[in-house]
A and B are shown apart, each in its own frame.
Chain A
Amino acid sequence: MESSWAVYGCTAEPAKAESGVEPFRKKLARLGKTLLRATGTTLQVNLGPMCNQLCRHCHLDAGPHRTETMDLETMEELLRFARTCAPQVVDITGGAPELNPHLSYLVESLSPWVPRLMIRTNLTALAEAGTEELLELFRKKRVVLVASFPSPNPAQLEAQRGIGVMGKSLEMLRVLNMAGYGIPGSELELDLVSNPAGAFLPPAQQKAQERFRKELQRRWGIHFNRLYTFANVPLGRFRMWLISTGNFQGYMQRLQSAFNPLTLEGLMCRSLVSISWEGYLFDCDFNLCVALPMGGMKRHISEMEGFPEPGSPIVVGDHCYACTAGSGFT
Chain B
Amino acid sequence: MLHNRRKHVAIAISLVAPFVLTFSLVFLWPAIRVVELSFTSGPLIGAGEWVGLENYRRLLSDNLFYTSLKNNGYFILLTVVPTTALALAIALMINRLSGRLQAAMLALFFLPYILPVSVVTMIWTWMLDFQFGILQPVFTFFTGKPVPVFKNPYWVMPMIAVVTIWWTNGFNVLLFIAGLRNIPQELYEAAALDGATGRQQFLRLTWPLLWPVTALVLTLQLILQLKIFDQVYLMSGGGPFNSSYVLLLMVYREAFQLNHGGYASAVALVLFVIIMAVSVLQFQILKIGGRR
**Is this pair of chains taken from one and the same complex?**
no
Which residues of A pack against B, CB within 8 Å? none
